[in-house]
Structure 1
């Protein structure tokens, strides 16, 4: 659902100014971005590059699907040609992941094991990004969009959700697509099916969520408008239920860490 009134130039300037100001106030030198071969990381890294500050793009394959690797490398190559402040590094985490698996129990539930290992991949990548950020005195830039971060909670807590700042988290996926076109992200990335790349295969986000991002954006808008599932039928009702269920069960990711406050009379 493209937004015809989407102000790509103005939004780009706003985000770039925000990134630069935040980094300057934090007294850091630049940004570190994990590059997956997807549109969100491509847009985020391009916005960081536009600040003029050092931007380090990191590839972190873990038994990665070849198509993801190809798109990531295509984007990094194109970005380095456009911006002299962009550099890249590659940390092959496959042996680290395999060693970790060797030293922990597998459990009896195959589906639960697969999901736990997928989240482990994301957390290994987060640790790696912060390692590079520490070396380069940089901030880790998040790549989550609004539907993922505040709609359905489609991210790993302390994995891809573990970042210093989130430049595109107030943009829906359709808006990220519009921004990608304006920022000249390669078409192969813009057109690619969204995927988190955490399972070592080519399954898409839609395969996991049960709905497309356009459908989830629609459901997000309906829920924000106070609509109820009984107001819809057929596929719309199904999508609304999917969104509502994910939004409910993933609130623990979206809300601040709960703190047990001790009454004054006990301290």
Structure 2
């Protein structure tokens, strides 16, 4: 059984990774007929790394950044988001979403500030709406910033920061993204900043999850990439079996976030189950001829 360590996990070819993602972005944007990309800039490592990759792929004139703070957003995050936009020389817009959130508070009769999850999730959903407005307005794609760790454990808001067109760093674990950031020239203050969606005061990802990303990543690497069971993963990583089971439980319980809405089978061919667009021998859809 292989020994799985953080050192081995982050020892990847970042030159290859960078070029692979650049090619992916260029191909998707070209095929979509869009003129570029829209990205939300939070000042964190994921959005910063993704922004750097977008500029490498599309050029600074084809990328627009949106800084969308709320009162729970620390000043240092706003500063870092502006630093990234200005360092990359991309056009960016600063939009405080406080008034928009207040409109929800005033309009929803059952609004309850004490419901931390329901109220917190409003923020990324408001941001998603603004991102897509800009995407529609300027014919661009919305680029997500989620990494493999967050996607697997479901640490994102459904139809919030999870509502995007592409996820360029979605096959890189959080710790790999940090080292990719270093490779791309991000300062340590951003590359190794503690992650947080900032949905409420003093929120941090690791504080909420109760486990460090360094541990999450090696455990996921064992469970997902090596297809180990929880007992094997605990042995291979040297992590407590209870911790491994906790991480695996998060993967299982958040599967719904990684799927399209489920459709019940009624007809002979059902969307999301066994339906696909029929094509003729030339590869053109029969419905498009």
| TM-score of the aligned structures, taking structure 1 as reference length | 0.89
Question: Is the alpha carbon distance of 1:231 and 1:87 closer, same or farther for their aligned partners in structure 2, counting shifts above 3 Å?
Answer: closer
- Displacement of 1:4 after TM fit? 5.7
Would you say the 8 A contact 2:216–2:247 is kept in 1? yes
User: Do residues 175 (structure 1) and 180 (structure 2) align?
Assistant: no
Inter-partner Cα distance in structure 1 for 2:101 and 2:244: 36
Aligned partner of 1:245 among 237, 243, 249: 249
Inter-partner Cα distance in structure 1 for 2:15 and 2:248: 33
Q: Point out where structure 2 has 5 or more consecutive residues left out of the alignment.
A: 1-5, 269-289
Consecutive aligned runs of 4 or more in structure 1 exceeding 4 Å deviation: 229-235
Inter-partner Cα distance in structure 2 for 1:181 and 1:232: 30
Q: Point out where structure 1 has 5 or more consecutive residues left out of the alignment.
A: 81-85
Inter-partner Cα distance in structure 1 for 2:185 and 2:257: 32
- Displacement of 1:74 after TM fit? 1.9
Inter-partner Cα distance in structure 1 for 2:267 and 2:31: 36
User: Do residues 103 (structure 1) and 103 (structure 2) align?
Assistant: no
Task: Please identify the structure whose Cα radius of gyration is greater.
Answer: 2
Would you say the 8 A contact 2:153–2:247 is kept in 1? yes
Correspondence for 1:14:
20
Correspondence for 1:83:
none
Instruction: Determine helix, strand or coil for the equivalent of 1:155.
Output: coil
Would you say the 8 A contact 2:219–2:233 is kept in 1? no
| TM-score of the aligned structures, taking structure 2 as reference length | 0.82
CA RMSD of aligned residues (A): 2.0
User: Do residues 62 (structure 1) and 70 (structure 2) align?
Assistant: yes
Aligned residues: 254
Would you say the 8 A contact 2:230–2:248 is kept in 1? no
Aligned partner of 1:92 among 93, 96, 118: 96
> Larger deviation: 237-246 or 26-35?
237-246
Would you say the 8 A contact 2:45–2:181 is kept in 1? yes
Correspondence for 1:75:
84
- Displacement of 1:230 after TM fit? 8.9
Correspondence for 1:208:
208
Inter-partner Cα distance in structure 1 for 2:69 and 2:96: 5
Inter-partner Cα distance in structure 1 for 2:210 and 2:231: 17
Bigger relative contact order (CA 8 A; separation at least 6): 1
